[in-house]
Structure 1
């Protein structure tokens, strides 16, 4: 266990449900405050790796396919870390710990089951650095949702800002962290993020995602479908709650043209985020958007319209929105080493503040 107050150089590695690639980011932290932010890098998965990973989504037991996917994920992370080290001329042996999220392939907390593939021991050997992984299992085993994990890092980032505020991270799924005046935390998945929009673009427009939201901007929202979507029981369900990447799909806009479907899905993601405010203990002064969704100006404008509030993107605060989740897993790794809680009753529904993670020595 790391002693209190000691600042460590932590490298965080994240691969989200949209299976874009590996985000790598360095921070220096004692697991409470953040001393400095280091460089970051995103290394896209090649298409073959992406196919292997997608092929095991929803798997419930180990097989030759999950073993192959785990090997591919681990090797991609090792290669991403080496590339980061070369590009930024930072030797890996100067890193104290790696926080390795792995790749979620199945998340069913109601059955006390979550699975992030990625071999922590193999990564520690490959990099010669201690690795903390498996950061969700302890929470899920205790009855928590195991997600979202980033809220405690959001709280560290906003210490100097006026609160209450909300940080919404739009990845494949979108999640929100509400932070009160006194630092109280409430967090949950709001609904779909970029996932259904990406799937629609791949299916209907031959592109991996809606670049700058231009397809959605050219379309018209189907109001009838939107209102029906907004009645989904998930939105009124009280937190804690979390979603799997496949819980919301793009099928509810089937039959629309490519642009209208993208516009309707984009408005659906924004509507789900706005509906999350019904669960906040107090209204927020502003929303801060981060994750891949922050790079979609159409989505950001739509969130502002739906929430009728001040909406800014993470980069407006000088945050590196692309690196934020990777930074969070670096932060969580240091907290795990110190035995500090990663999850809380207000963030995952865990019965008490809980630490977690598994340590692998090189």
Structure 2
């Protein structure tokens, strides 16, 4: 691969376990030159149950059924993109314990390269953890490129609200994402995961669609204060979370009605982001929200009320919040192929800027 731009395909299956996103971008690993086609392959209820049962498990455990779900879903979706020159494959995160056992993304990039007949870059997080980093979040380098693309001139934040929340503070005046002071990134706290778990446990629903249940309830301040007493919220960045890092959340709202429990868990998201913004070097002018949380109007109203900045979905600046993470791994794949760093001290706490990722080429098996 030369130094010019290529069409790269990225795939992401997040901790919400809803399905696989795939998206194309044209990039040289520095600039985002164009956005291409995208697609989505939902997991069936049976597939989702298999993956949910595998959460928290590590290599060496019996994961063959879960591995087959990840392999089959990705191969089926990514085969639709015949024009892709390179693929970035994140895999399915099952466990994340950077200060302990490490991080585990289920998926075999070498097998996927054989199935697709194209180079696949995968295992993005291991090198970062090995060098003392959290291994997450990894999208901030892409966020930096997006800030440049939209012509941002002052510090801003990109807030991803998936299963957990993560915040990227960006100074677009810097020349490169690995430059000191260009980025600060960390997980803010739980986002949609505990709300989804509440809905599943109490109502058999996948999520609080449109925030309707939370909108019918009230935030119970005593419960909110107790939830925000979690030691994680007091830790300085870098810091990152596993999807199930707060096992006591549902128990803490057990005595509340369905609506009040949903409202209180939604308020935790806004409160944790507000707490996280205290770590930013300077306050951001605006906060652009991506991930499923931006579709929850109650969550967005709570954020706007809690934060002293403009809060808007990323669509307000012409980006696609459904595909941003998939696009990020397309971008990171090209950076890995070009030997460029993918994380830095300001994003994961790694000791020095490092390029993660394993490159698998078809025919190598």
TM-score normalised by the chain length of structure 2: 0.94
| Aligned counterpart for 1:209 among listed residues 207, 210, 216 | 207
Q: Which deviates more from structure 2 when the two are superposed, residues 112-121 or residues 183-192? A: 112-121
SS of 1:55's equivalent in the other structure is helix
Shift of residue 261, structure 1, vs aligned partner? 0.5
Question: What is the aligned partner in structure 1 of residue 156 from structure 2?
Answer: 165
What is the number of residues matched between the two proteins? Answer: 351
- Does residue 1:75 correspond to 2:38, yes or no? no
Aligned to 2:297: 297
What is aligned with 2:2?
3
Offset of 1:181 from its aligned partner? 5.0
The alpha carbon displacement at 1:69 in A equals 1.1
Q: 1:187 aligns with which of 185, 188, 196?
A: 185
Q: Deviations over 1:177-223 (max 9, x none)?
A: 00125331000000001000111111112210011111100101100
User: Does the 8 Å CA contact 2:287/2:310 hold for their aligned counterparts?
Assistant: yes
Please, which runs of 5 or more residues in structure 2 have no aligned partner? Answer: 175-181
Counterpart CA distance in 2 for 1:14 and 1:181 is 26
Any residues of structure 2 matched to 1:112-151 within 5 Å, and which? 113-151=102-140
Q: Is the 8 A contact 2:5 2:28 kept in 1?
A: yes
1:175 corresponds to: 166
Distance 1:349 1:80, change over 3 A: same
Once the 2 structures are TM-superposed, how far is the Cα of residue 162 of structure 1 from its aligned partner?
3.2
Match of 1:259 in 2: 259
Relative to total residues, which structure has the larger helix share, 1 or 2? 1
CA distance in 1, matches of 2:223, 2:12: 34
2:19–2:43 CA contact under 8 A, matched in 1: yes
Alignment of 1:11-160 (within 5 A): 11-63=9-61, 65-82=62-79, 85=80, 90=81, 92=82, 94-111=83-100, 113-159=102-148, 160=151
Q: Note if contact 1:112-1:143 (Cα within 8 Å) is conserved in structure 2.
A: no
Question: What is the TM-score when the length of structure 1 is the normalising length?
Answer: 0.95
Secondary structure of 2:39's counterpart equals strand
The secondary structure found in structure 2 opposite 1:279 is coil
Corresponding residue number in structure 2 for 1:311: 311
Rounded Cα–Cα distance in structure 2 between residues aligned with 1:42 and 1:219: 32
Q: Secondary structure at the match of 1:167?
A: strand
Name the SS for the 2:278 alignment partner.
helix
- Which structure 1 segments of 5+ residues have no match? none
TM-superposed CA distance for 1:77, in Å, is: 0.5
Aligned to 1:326: 326
CA deviations over 1:60-87 (Å, ceiling 9, x no partner): 3323x312211220111011123xx2xx
Task: Tell me the SS of whatever aligns to 2:54.
Answer: coil
Q: Is the 2:144–2:172 Cα contact (8 Å) retained in structure 1?
A: no
Whole-angstrom CA distance in 1 between matches of 2:84 and 2:155: 35
**CA RMSD across the alignment:** 1.2
What secondary structure, in the 3-state scheme, does the structure 2 residue paired with 1:102 have? strand
Residues 218-247 of structure 1: per-residue CA shift (max 9 Å, x gap): 101100011122222111110000000001
Corresponding residue number in structure 2 for 1:352:
352
**Partner Cα distance (2:293, 2:109) in 1:** 29
The answer to whether the Cα contact below 8 Å between 1:71 and 1:119 also exists between their aligned partners in 2 is no
Per-residue CA deviation, residues 87-111 of structure 1 (Å, 9 max, x unaligned), is: xxx5x2x211110000000110012
How far 1:58 moved relative to its partner?
1.1
Confirm or deny that 1:196 pairs with 2:194: yes
